[in-house]
Structures are given as C-alpha cells and as structure tokens.
Amino acid sequence: MALLLGLLGLVAVVLYTGGRLDLTALKAIKLPYLLACLGLIILDWLSEAVRLTLLSRALGEQVGVLAVLRIVFMGAFFARITPFDSGGEPFQIYALHRDGMSLGHATATIAVKALLHGLARVSLGILVPVWLLLTARGWRLGRAASVALYAGMTIYLAISGLIVLAVFQRGNAKKLLERLARARWLNRWVGEARISRLIERLEANYRSFVAAMRQFGQERRSTVLLVGIISFLSWAAVLAVPVILVRALGGASPVAEITATAIIFYLAVAYAPTPGSAGASELGFATLFARFVPLPLVGVLVLAWRLLTHYLTLLLGFVVTGLSMIRRRPGQPPQ
C-alpha cells in the first residue's frame, strides 16, 4: 500500500509539472552531491542509535551496538508501513523488551527519545518566523508553507497534551480496568484470574516507567540534555538533504529559505494519515519546493529526495526485519 500510494503521488507530481519525468536530469546529479546526501542519511541513522544507547544505558540497561542498529532499522521499517508513521516507536519498545529490557524501561527510553526528537522539530518550527525576520532578503513564506507550519505545530502540541493527560489520568484508567474485571461477561470470556494478573502486570510496568522517567529527570539530566543536542544535529542532517538536492539541480535560492521550507515540510508531513506518509510526502514536497527549481525538474527533485530519504531506509529496514525474524524463530530465547 505504501509503495502504491508513493507511486501515485509521484505520478500526480509529474502530471502537475507537465507530464514528463526528466530522468536525464536525475542521472546528471554529480556524485559528490549524492555522496553528501548519503552521508547525512547515515549520520541520521547513527544518531538515533547513539540516542537509544545513551538512554538505555542511563537506566542501567546494557544493549549491544548491533542490537541497537537492528532496532533502529526495524523501527524505521514499521514507521514507513503504518499510518502517521505510528508503528516505529511501539515496535522499538517491543524490540527492546524482547532483547531483555523491562517493559517500563523500554517504554521510558523510547518515550524520551521520541519526545526530545519531536521537541527539536517543533523548536525549529518556532524559530522559522524569527529566522525569516532576521535573514529574509526579498523572500517570504507562501500561503501553503504558512498553513503547513502552523497546522503542524498545532497538531503536535495537541497530541503532546493528550499524552500528558493520559499519563495523569492513570488512576481513572486503572479504575476502569478494575470495573471491567468485575464484569461477568468478561470474566466468563477471559477469566478473573487472568484479568487480575494483567492489571498487576500493567501496574508494575507503569511503576517501572515512572521510576525510569524520574531517574531521567533527576539523576540523568546531563544524558537527556546530550540526547536533545544530538536530536537537533540529527534534524540538521535531515534538513540538509533537500538543500543539497536543490543545489544539485541548479536551484539558486538562499539556503535559509530552502532550510526553512524543509523544516515546515517535516513539521507537517509527520501527521499524514497514509502509511509512511506515502503520497502526501510526494505531493507536499512538490508543493513547497516547486519554487526552488524549474517546473520540469520538480518531479526529479521529489524522486531523488524520496529515494534517498525514504525508500533506501525502507529497503534496509525490510532486509533487517526479515533477517531478524528468520534468525529468531518463535520460542527462541533473546540473544
């Protein structure tokens, strides 16, 4: 489905820009530009692995380097085949727990990583209007970019608020589970003993999660700060890729303008409801970046960017996930 939607999105971009995809222009992109983009993408992969390692070891967990890299690629794969990119973090929690980390610690590790990564993205979005005032020389955000900027920030803050509310409403959630446990129809279907064990397990995992979050906030602040800085560096690597590709195709717009547009794009596209934001990414990228290159090259820009930043990771994630499932069959103990 993700591949089909991505293909349809690219076809729509090509039709919008004249009905022809100039593959000769794609071949004409010089090797140093491609190597620079590939290096930035690898840097983004490694930065996530470093963040996971730092956070897990801050809680006293020992996760191997190869295991962390495997978890990064597997999470990236599931993010790219699920709506809203929503499958990545839950699968990483599962993978960390499967490798021996307690569920509470695994949840806290991924929660802090995701929170800091999202906070870095929104912080960059907040800086765009200020950046615009300080550096703009004859350029302004278009209507589409402005709508994407404020819509993305609003959605992120709303989702963050709901998550915080859910955490603070844990007591009500527990009461609801206990009420369900007393329901006759559920007892006949599941069994009272099994429901009680489930509630106890959830409570234990929640206590472990709260203890881990308290440890991050009180004893491991330096680690959290370092992970936050690495999150900004990771975003810098991601944002530089479209800048390089625009330059590779002859675009001469100011770097500040291209980077600001990239920040806005990534802020908004994360909430597209399609698997891996497929289709929406192609159309949104073309809409926001069309003013940086000649119209016939917009399709080439979208294709090059998507191949490097999405399909390469999707392919590697698929391979790593497949190998992991083959090597670890049901019933096999964690490695």
Alpha-carbon distance of 53 to 292, in angstroms, equals 38
Best mean pLDDT range from 87-96, 144-153, 202-211, 269-278: 87-96
How many residues can be counted in the chain? 335
- For 219-285, give the DSSP string: T-HHHHHHHHHHHHHHHHHHHHHHHHHHHHTT--S-HHHHHHHHHHHHHHHTT-SSBTTTTHHHHHH
pLDDT at 200: 66
Mean pLDDT for 89-111 is 90
Alpha-carbon distance of 119 to 159, in angstroms, equals 12
How far, CA to CA in Å, does 104 sit from each of 197, 209, 251? Answer: 16, 4, 48
Exposed / middle / buried, residue 222 (Cβ in 10 Å: 0-12, 13-18, 19+): exposed
Structural contact between residues 275 and 80, judged by C-beta atoms closer than 8 angstroms = yes
pLDDT at 330: 46
- pTM score: 0.82
21 pLDDT tier (thresholds 50, 70, 90): confident
H or E segment to which residue 147 belongs: helix 143-168
Nearest to 114 by CA among 102, 122, 125, 103: 122
Name 261's Cβ contacts closer than 8 Å, sequence gap at least 6: 141, 145, 242, 288, 289, 292
Alpha-carbon distance of 22 to 300, in angstroms, equals 7
For residue range 194-242, what is the model confidence (pLDDT) as tens digits? Answer: 656 666 666 676 677 778 888 898 889 999 999 999 999 999 999 999 9
Alpha-carbon distance of 120 to 108, in angstroms, equals 18
Alpha-carbon distance of 107 to 184, in angstroms, equals 32
Alpha-carbon distance of 298 to 251, in angstroms, equals 11
Q: Is the confidence at residue 335, as pLDDT, over 50?
A: no
Largest interatomic CA distance in the chain: 71
Structural contact between residues 211 and 7, judged by C-beta atoms closer than 8 angstroms = no
Alpha-carbon distance of 94 to 81, in angstroms, equals 17
Which amino acid is it at 200? E
Mean pLDDT for 262-274 is 82
Structural contact between residues 86 and 272, judged by C-beta atoms closer than 8 angstroms = no
Q: Is the confidence at residue 331, as pLDDT, over 50?
A: no
> 172: number of CA atoms within 13 Å, CB side?
5
Give the rounded percent of residues in the chain with a pLDDT score beyond 70: 76
The angle formed by the CA atoms of residues 79, 84 and 89, to the nearest 5 degrees, is: 40
What does the radius of gyration of the chain's CA atoms come to, in whole angstroms?
22
For residue range 296-306, what is the model confidence (pLDDT) as tens digits? Answer: 899 999 999 99
The angle formed by the CA atoms of residues 135, 137 and 139, to the nearest 5 degrees, is: 105
